[in-house]
Structure 1
Amino acid sequence: MSAVALLLLFFIMASCSIKKHIPEDELLYRGGEVNIETDSIIAEEEQLQDELEAILRPEPNTKFLGVYPGLYYYYINQREKPGFINKWLYEKIGEEPIYASDVKTYEVDDIIINRLENHGFFYSSSASTLDKNEDDKIAKAMYSVSIKQPYTLASYQLDSLQEPIYTSIQRSVNRSEFKKGLRFDLDFLKTERQRIDHHLKSKGYYNFNSDFLIFEADTTRYSSRQFDLYLRLKSGVPKKSLVPYRVEQINIFSNYDIENDSITNDTIRFNNKNFIETESYFNPKDLDPFITLKEGDFYNPRASRNTARRLSTIGTYKYVNIQYEEKDSLLTDSTAVLHANIYLSPLNKRSLKAELQAVTKSNSFAGPALEFSYSNRNLFKGGEIFSLSTNLGYEFQMGTDSDEPSASSTSIGIKGEILFPKVLFPFKISDSFFDYSIPKTKTSLSIDYLNRSDLYRLLSGTAEFGYVWNENKYTTHELNPISINYNNLIKTTPEFDIILEDNPFLQESFDQEFIAGLNYSFIYNEMVDVNKTHQIYVNTTVDIAGNVVSLFGKDNSDSKTETFLGLEYAQYAKLDVDFRYHFNFSNDQKIATRLFAGYGLPYGNSELMPYIKQYYSGGPNSIRAFRIRSLGPGTYEGVDDGTYNDFVDQTGNIRLEANLEYRFPLFSFFKGALFTDAGNVWNSKENDALPGGKISSDFMQQLGIGVGVGIRVDVQGFVIRFDFAAPLHDPTLKDGERWDFQYDETRFNFAIGYPF
């Protein structure tokens, strides 16, 4: 029997021994039950019963699979020497016992009656008893609730008020969902007050408060449990709360420094706004589109929030503070005046960073990496962010035999990027089209050199031009209408030439040196709401290449393919869907799941996908029980000769993957995880060099499956991850032998951040 099974058996047996620890004069409380009796038909009676049972107090001790683990470790820790493990388990899952003597049923009766009255069930009653079982030493509270017919709305109207607030409130009342026959409910009244307050704020009532509103119910006109509802203002409401405010002046301090706020500033008037700065820092015409406030408009908190959010997304400012200044001297019986002051505190304009890294990978490569980066957050005084980075890395393969030369890899790269906080487009696009945020235009250019000592030397370049914008809090769009990749094998070793000769498909994927097309990503991300119980993340990416280039292609005399600028170009369509669901429950525990599906379709000038666009499986962010790029395609088994060669060609144009992970706290900033991963890659066409790699109807039997445990160091969102995983289902084995828990093949994965 495994250690896990023994531990589980001990856990269950020990947890069953609760009864003997209960004191002689006590009974263990097992919760309560509500039985409802009504004198009329009540809508949603089952929901009402669930609500009443949810407010019963106290809550009983937790019972899991018929046992009380929390209680067991409470009683064990009452011993003189409970032991370290028992103390630790008590801190994690222990609970103090809840006895029948702790239950004050008469207090719960009052709570039930109060909740019923809040829902309009006046003159109801509740009677309680304790149902005791002396043999099992347990007790249960029984509540018999008699519910009377609820009071319903006959009419809803607004009392007379002074103008202009009377007309503003009346318009909101006319759109109210309070209709005749609505059951009285205190929560409905609170929601109605907040709705009216929100409406008034949007119409300029800067100083209004929902607490100024009061409801009065009159039942004297009816004998059939009906009431008239009247809305009025409390007495003593300040005059300035009853009039709308207009924004008379907008002042933008584009480089505000709180320590030097007395320095003389220059003021530039642009588009009915005052741009105030100590020096020429930010062009007013570039900053103006981010400000949705307008002079002469009524105060509107939504416009204020939009302005603050849009300014924060520029990336140039660390603080955005909007303050409104009341001009009491201009207060009248019908209107008041505000001045909007927008204080913008810039980040440091320039920064230089050097970073030395120690890199370890799941393919046994390790080594140092050095990176330098320079950034300018306001390059042309329009919020443009320019970044330039260079990197140098060296990796060598550990664990090889001393008689064999160690494979190594050297990489050098440089990348430049400019992010414009506006739309660069031949035609002007109205700013009102992007209400939530203004799109950013992204341009980048990078060149990389990679030397794998035992394989090849590769020179690659990438150029992109595109846009990224947020549609709302959760939705992001990213469109790159121009995406160009250039890859050139400038030198190959004889060993790699043999690999290419044996695998014409792999050679053809490297021959496609030029990739030009567009890509689009749609991202829906609820993970930004960290307190949400159910979180969904969806990332859908479409990548299309070669269509425009094909219009200018020329026939290649050496092959059937066409070339552009003397380079063979790729033509394909690729679709990825990455779906994730997180279920967050008590005590910082989480069930995290992911499903990934991707398909690449080569056509026209390409018979297969370019190598850099193909899928691979395995590694710290994929199927963790297998080395990176070592799983698949299909049932193909690479030749493990101790070098990089054994999985250079283990890629495919189809990928399917599913992950399930249970995350839980351990202590301090350490967290644990139990996980299982399943997936593989396949080819849509047969490749003689990769037998078993073509997808077939039994693809589900070809999934690589692994299970494992992990430890994570999570310090304020920065996560260092250690995962240990072993294969459970290996598709490279013979059919009938694939299900085998290979614990002796456990792989260690080290990574930064969560895998999904």
Structure 2
Amino acid sequence: MKKTSTKITAFIVIAILISACNAVKRVPADKLLLTKNEISVNNKAIKEEIVFNQLYQKPNTTLLGYRLRLNLYNLANLNPDSTYQAKFKNNPEKYKRLSKWLSEKQVNRLGQSFWYHGIHDFLIKTGEPPVIVDKEKSNKSLLRLKYYYFNNGFFNVKAAYQIDTINIQKAKLKYDITLGNAFFLDTIKTSITTPVLDSLYQRNKFNTFLKSGNQYKTDDFENERNRITTNFRNNGAYYFQPNYVTFNIDTIKKVNQANITLMINNYSYQEKDSTKTEPFKLYKISDVNIYTDYSPNNSGLNINDSVSYKNFNLYSQKKLKYKPKAITDAIFIYKGGMYADFRTVLTTRYLNNLKIFNYPSIQYEVDKRDSTAQSLIAKVYLTPRKKYSFGTTLDVTHSNIQDFGIGLSVSETIRNVFNGAETLELAARGNIGSSKDLANPKNNFFNVSEYGVDLKLNIPRILMPFNTDKIIPKSMIPSTLITVGFAKQRNIGLDKENFTGGLSYNWTPKINHTARFDLLNTQFVRNLNPRNYFNVYSSSYSALNKISKAYNTNPSYYDDAVNRDLLIEQGTRGFTNDVLSGSGVFLKPLKPADYESVKSIEERRLRLTENDFILATSFTFSKTTKKDLKDNDFYLFKTKIESAGTILSAFANVTNQKKNANGNYDIFNLEYSEYVKTEFDYIKHWDLSKENIIAFRSFFGIAIPFGNSNYIPFSRSYFSGGSNDNRAWQPYSLGPGSSGGLDDFNEANMKIALSGEYRFKIAGSLKGAIFADAGNIWNVLDNVKDEKSVFKNFSSLKDIAVGSGFGLRYDLSFFVIRFDLGFKTYNPGKEMNERWFKEYNFSKAVLNFGINYPF
């Protein structure tokens, strides 16, 4: 019976696949399915995507050559309602029986269920109807191809197409283009009626897109029109528009050449029933009026308070709530200055960045007081946001620490808190979760928790005791951020208290450039439960316990004479002291390798259980060419340099402070960290069109301890693995070097990471990816001596791990849900002859879940 049912299932699956693979299933008998487009130019086949984009009809999309979406569509029942009704129309007795068992209403509703209706709606929506060869659309495609080549200088294009039947009800379209000779620009003249505009043009004509000898391109003319408009409107020509720029193209008596005349006529305007013209005027700003509490719902302005400050006029319908400088610093339109579009844009950007107003409105009107009518009054309308706003967020989390967690955060935002456009945010957060950590022997479901409070004060200017406008002008939209935070953990690791504080400055040197200078970045980490170390770091415990069984003779170190497992904390500490002090009595002489292992375990325990104090200064710079969220052809470069402890050491040297027994300086009886750290991050995306994208990322980071430290604090070190890193390894499970990830949380002070993936569309919002990740972490110039973990020279690059795999992503517009399955392709933790493809199977694969793309 089991074999029979298996055969039936296989037969059904095969039948469905055969039915679905009939590509012409939905193609009418007298029509043809378009399977391919071919374009030849001057009898030579071309593949340029921009040319194929001119075609109105394109074949059904494919996935690795298979028309997946077309076949999904072919699986669907296009009229599920009729099919469901016919089912009972042909068998009324069946309808009666089903109605008695359920009810007539439920039977009718059954026809709208997923099985009868919903699944077909899904297939229709996800699938793709067959693309039928359409002669009318083919003629339109031919016309667009002609226009495309005409716009690129080929004025005598000839084009034709033919339908080539290649199979039953299938065809391909062949487009044949004959270009002729291209036309080139010859002489270029100008005819600008308004003298002041002609003068402006002559001063900037070296930037022109139209140059004698260049091949004719319509885009060059459009770019030149926009360049001229931008130039004029940024120099006072308020009424100038692109349509005033026209071109006369003369090809008469020319062989493949064109004479160009750029023409700009006078300003044209309507006065009553007649059209008048006059030369363009260049306008200056006579007044800048700022309305600080404008309401778009109230057209009238009842001004009750006003102030003039540095040639700016501030008006308020109620009592003015802002310090004048806080508002005027955001205004780049000046009294007496020329009208300029870029100043309007810059003012809008700065005002938006304050985050205390809704989208501002800037309007201009001609100043009637000026008899020459060449002055404008700039009016800036500001609509304040609510002074207080309350927010909450609820998150469900999963991490390498928590199997399941629920987080809640509440925040209160206070705007214009000191009347200087400052924004103060107070936030509290809490998290409870479930963990199988050995630190939780009671095994309650919610056995871990964390809570914290944060304060952020954003000031829209550089807060310094001296003026920084010459170094960072206000056009760079500078701001100061002051942060203070506290967090406490229970049953997470060693149960930490984390105190943070910072003073940072942010600015944008250019569009798409950002800079950040952290003058002070302070962190104090206090471990509340260091005795819990071997419960948390079970790999260290296992290694120490294994050694103790070979040597330990002290029965007080364990409570089970059979298994002889070390007690935590009495046994682990006692046995470690016996080994390192040489005072223990052992079953046999201690091997040097085992002594070094115990020493390494103890050094790691001391490092990870010590309280950390970090006082760092850093500078971060980033640059991107990404224009918007839909831009898939861009790069992002980010670099950071950080120095910690140098200020404290300099102060200690100047004040002749004494060092402790370890030869280091203390602050609050705690050795502070001292290191220098630098990072480089580069991301590049290539858009191959049709939602096919190649993405690449490279990262290098190194932190070198010196002076007061010989290691990097855990919170500032690097790890490898995870959904945004090498996806064939779990977080913290890769490296260092070829050590094989023996510890529970493997970290080091140098990291190399490379990732590349090919992203493609599968069906609808479902996307796919094929990826490869490479990288590792190493110890360098610190106190780690294990040769497998240390980066010695370029030969250590052989320990770069390689993971590869595939992923599925579902685009919900506002975020992307991501699943990636990574396979260990090259594992440096294995012996040399066991590294390549030895774990390339599903049992050793790592499934990663993430939100949004990894890079």
TM-score bracket relative to the smaller structure? 0.7 to 0.9
CA contact (8 A) 1:468 1:478 kept: yes
Structure 2 runs not aligned, ≥5 long: 1-13, 84-115, 270-275, 535-568, 577-598
TM-score when scaled to structure 1? Answer: 0.82
Deviations 1:508-554 (A, max 9, x none): 46546332231111122445512323132222221111222222154
CA contact (8 A) 1:598 1:654 kept: yes
How far residue 464 of structure 1 moved from its aligned partner, in angstroms, is 1.6
CA contact (8 A) 2:635 2:685 kept: yes
Equivalent of 2:709 in 562, 584, 606: 606
Cα separation, partners in 2 of 1:173 and 1:701, compared to 1, 3 Å: closer
How far residue 388 of structure 1 moved from its aligned partner, in angstroms, is 2.4
Name the SS of the counterpart of 2:382 in structure 1: strand
Return the alpha-carbon distance in structure 2 between the equivalents of residues 485 and 625 of structure 1: 32
CA contact (8 A) 2:187 2:258 kept: yes
Return the alpha-carbon distance in structure 1 between the equivalents of residues 332 and 133 of structure 2: 60
Indicate whether 1:442 and 2:508 are aligned: no
CA contact (8 A) 2:287 2:377 kept: yes
Return the alpha-carbon distance in structure 2 between the equivalents of residues 175 and 579 of structure 1: 32
Name the SS of the counterpart of 1:493 in structure 2: helix
Match of residue 31 from structure 1: 37
Superposition map of 1:119-268 within 5 A: 119-122=152-155, 124-126=156-158, 128=160, 130=162, 132=164, 138=171, 140-141=173-174, 143=176, 145=178, 147-148=180-181, 150=183, 152-158=185-191, 161-169=193-201, 171=203, 176-218=208-250, 225=257, 227=259, 229=261, 231-233=263-265, 236-237=268-269, 238-239=276-277, 242-260=280-298, 261-268=300-307
Indicate whether 1:418 and 2:457 are aligned: yes
Task: Compare the two structures and name the one with the higher helix fraction.
Answer: 2
Superposition map of 1:96-111 within 5 A: 96-99=130-133
CA contact (8 A) 1:545 1:572 kept: yes
Q: Read off the aligned partner of 2:704 and give its amino acid letter.
A: L
Return the alpha-carbon distance in structure 1 between the equivalents of residues 182 and 680 of structure 2: 53
Equivalent of 2:128 in 87, 94, 97: 94
Equivalent of 2:842 in 739, 743, 747: 743
Return the alpha-carbon distance in structure 2 between the equivalents of residues 581 and 523 of structure 1: 14
Structure 1 runs not aligned, ≥5 long: 1-8, 38-44, 640-645
Return the alpha-carbon distance in structure 1 between the equivalents of residues 63 and 818 of structure 2: 30
Match of residue 384 from structure 2: 346
How far residue 198 of structure 1 moved from its aligned partner, in angstroms, is 1.8
Return the alpha-carbon distance in structure 2 between the equivalents of residues 581 and 320 of structure 1: 35
Q: Read off the aligned partner of 2:415 and give its amino acid letter.
A: R
How far residue 726 of structure 1 moved from its aligned partner, in angstroms, is 5.2
Indicate whether 1:270 and 2:313 are aligned: no
Cα separation, partners in 2 of 1:604 and 1:27, compared to 1, 3 Å: same
Equivalent of 2:646 in 540, 543, 547: 547
Cα separation, partners in 2 of 1:495 and 1:674, compared to 1, 3 Å: same
Cα separation, partners in 2 of 1:425 and 1:104, compared to 1, 3 Å: closer
Return the alpha-carbon distance in structure 2 between the equivalents of residues 49 and 392 of structure 1: 55
CA contact (8 A) 1:206 1:241 kept: no
Deviations 1:362-383 (A, max 9, x none): 3344444443433322111111
Indicate whether 1:292 and 2:332 are aligned: yes
Cα separation, partners in 2 of 1:413 and 1:708, compared to 1, 3 Å: same
Match of residue 633 from structure 1: 736
Name the SS of the counterpart of 1:462 in structure 2: strand
Superposition map of 1:466-545 within 5 A: 466-493=504-531, 495-496=533-534, 498=572, 502-508=601-607, 510-511=609-610, 513-527=612-626, 529-545=628-644
How far residue 293 of structure 1 moved from its aligned partner, in angstroms, is 0.4
Cα separation, partners in 2 of 1:63 and 1:444, compared to 1, 3 Å: closer
**Percent identity over paired residues:** 22
Cα separation, partners in 2 of 1:723 and 1:296, compared to 1, 3 Å: same
Indicate whether 1:705 and 2:705 are aligned: no
Q: Read off the aligned partner of 1:594 and give its amino acid letter.
A: R
Return the alpha-carbon distance in structure 1 between the equivalents of residues 236 and 163 of structure 2: 59
Q: Read off the aligned partner of 1:597 and give its amino acid letter.
A: F
How far residue 101 of structure 1 moved from its aligned partner, in angstroms, is 5.2
Indicate whether 1:568 and 2:664 are aligned: no
Deviations 1:19-73 (A, max 9, x none): 9998887776643434439xxxxxxx99999976764564455577666556666
Cα separation, partners in 2 of 1:611 and 1:78, compared to 1, 3 Å: closer
Return the alpha-carbon distance in structure 1 between the equivalents of residues 696 and 285 of structure 2: 49
Name the SS of the counterpart of 2:344 in structure 1: helix
CA contact (8 A) 1:250 1:341 kept: yes
Indicate whether 1:302 and 2:338 are aligned: no
CA contact (8 A) 1:536 1:580 kept: yes
Return the alpha-carbon distance in structure 2 between the equivalents of residues 707 and 390 of structure 1: 39
Return the alpha-carbon distance in structure 2 between the equivalents of residues 224 and 591 of structure 1: 41
Q: Read off the aligned partner of 2:378 and give its amino acid letter.
A: A
How far residue 624 of structure 1 moved from its aligned partner, in angstroms, is 4.4
Return the alpha-carbon distance in structure 2 between the equivalents of residues 438 and 369 of structure 1: 34
Aligned length: 729
CA contact (8 A) 1:574 1:601 kept: yes
Task: Compare the two structures and name the one with the higher strand fraction.
Answer: 1
How far residue 429 of structure 1 moved from its aligned partner, in angstroms, is 1.7
Return the alpha-carbon distance in structure 1 between the equivalents of residues 431 and 51 of structure 2: 64
Equivalent of 2:744 in 629, 634, 647: 647
Cα separation, partners in 2 of 1:14 and 1:229, compared to 1, 3 Å: farther
CA contact (8 A) 2:617 2:642 kept: yes
Equivalent of 2:814 in 716, 724, 727: 716
Return the alpha-carbon distance in structure 2 between the equivalents of residues 32 and 711 of structure 1: 32
Return the alpha-carbon distance in structure 1 between the equivalents of residues 762 and 142 of structure 2: 40
Return the alpha-carbon distance in structure 2 between the equivalents of residues 710 and 569 of structure 1: 45
How far residue 188 of structure 1 moved from its aligned partner, in angstroms, is 3.3
Moved more, 46-55 or 722-731: 46-55
Match of residue 778 from structure 2: 682
How far residue 226 of structure 1 moved from its aligned partner, in angstroms, is 5.1
RMSD: 4.5
Q: Read off the aligned partner of 1:445 and give its amino acid letter.
A: V
Q: Read off the aligned partner of 1:319 and give its amino acid letter.
A: Y
Name the SS of the counterpart of 1:199 in structure 2: helix
How far residue 349 of structure 1 moved from its aligned partner, in angstroms, is 1.4
Q: Read off the aligned partner of 2:702 and give its amino acid letter.
A: Y
CA contact (8 A) 2:24 2:130 kept: no
TM-score when scaled to structure 2? Answer: 0.73
Deviations 1:438-497 (A, max 9, x none): 2111222223333447x6343332222121112233111111122222233354216546
Return the alpha-carbon distance in structure 1 between the equivalents of residues 477 and 751 of structure 2: 35
Cα separation, partners in 2 of 1:212 and 1:88, compared to 1, 3 Å: same
Deviations 1:655-678 (A, max 9, x none): 233344555678887766665544
Cα separation, partners in 2 of 1:388 and 1:176, compared to 1, 3 Å: closer
Q: Read off the aligned partner of 1:231 and give its amino acid letter.
A: M
Deviations 1:590-644 (A, max 9, x none): 55443332211112222111222111233444344544323332344567xxxxx
Indicate whether 1:281 and 2:321 are aligned: yes
Q: Read off the aligned partner of 2:469 and give its amino acid letter.
A: S
Larger Cα-atom Rg:
2
Q: Read off the aligned partner of 1:566 and give its amino acid letter.
A: N
How far residue 275 of structure 1 moved from its aligned partner, in angstroms, is 0.9
Name the SS of the counterpart of 1:522 in structure 2: strand
Moved more, 253-262 or 55-64: 55-64
Moved more, 598-607 or 728-737: 728-737
CA contact (8 A) 1:34 1:53 kept: no
